Amino acid sequence: MSYGYPESPVFYRRLDRVYRCAVAARGATIEDEEGRTYLDASGGAMVANVGHGVPEIAAAVAEAAALGYLGGLQFTHRFVEELAAELAAVLPAPLRYGYFLASGSEAVEAAVKLARQVWVRFAERFAATAFEHGLVVWPNTGHVGGRAGDIVMLAPPFTIRGEEIAEIGRRCRRTLEELSE
């Protein structure tokens, strides 16, 4: 069989070449279906560090797959908890929490979502504080009271109650959500 576009139903990264089909891999070598062996000089970081076909890794993956649930979004499981505990034992306190993902794309998406959660919470607190105590702004350079920037204190235009502050916070949040879409 030919492994390439358009004969194969796989959408390959490059459409202008024919791919070899790997049937086995051990250490730094890969064997194709015709029995030829290749030195893998372009494997990813994991391959470069431990090699292909490591029996201990295969056994660990099989054990985890046998659990039947590895998602981690709705439930946790012992594999995640054990790995997190091992890492926490050797990392400094600020880094003792793990967020396990499968790719750089997932990491970027998670970072954006976490940043948004933090920003929404900040915006709600900021709105409440601004309307209760006035708004502090540092628009330019300079130093006032040991702080950089021109400090401008804007008094709230009128006195508002707690429930009104909450409604203004919700409106600010909706606006931020709309702007971030």
Q: Where are the domains of the chain?
A: 1-53, 54-100, 104-180
Supply the CATH classification number for the domain 1-53. 3.90.1150.10
pLDDT value at residue 48: 62
More confidently predicted of 154 and 102: 102
Q: What is the mean pLDDT of residues 29-53?
A: 83
pLDDT value at residue 122: 72
Query: What gap in Å lies between CA 31 and CA 92, rounded to an integer?
Result: 43
Residue 41 has pLDDT above 90, yes or no: no
Q: Which helix (H) or strand (E) holds 109?
A: helix 104-133
Least confident of 6-15, 100-109, 150-159, 165-174: 150-159
pLDDT value at residue 142: 47
Query: What gap in Å lies between CA 132 and CA 165, rounded to an integer?
Result: 8
Q: What is the mean pLDDT of residues 146-162?
A: 54
Q: Is the pTM of this model over 0.85?
A: no
Instruction: Kindly state the tokens that stand for 13.
Output: 């990264």
User: Which pairs count as long-range contacts for 131-139, CB under 8 Å and 24+ apart, including other chains?
Assistant: 131/156, 131/160, 131/164, 131/165, 131/168, 132/156, 132/165
Percentage of the residues of the chain whose pLDDT score is greater than 90: 24
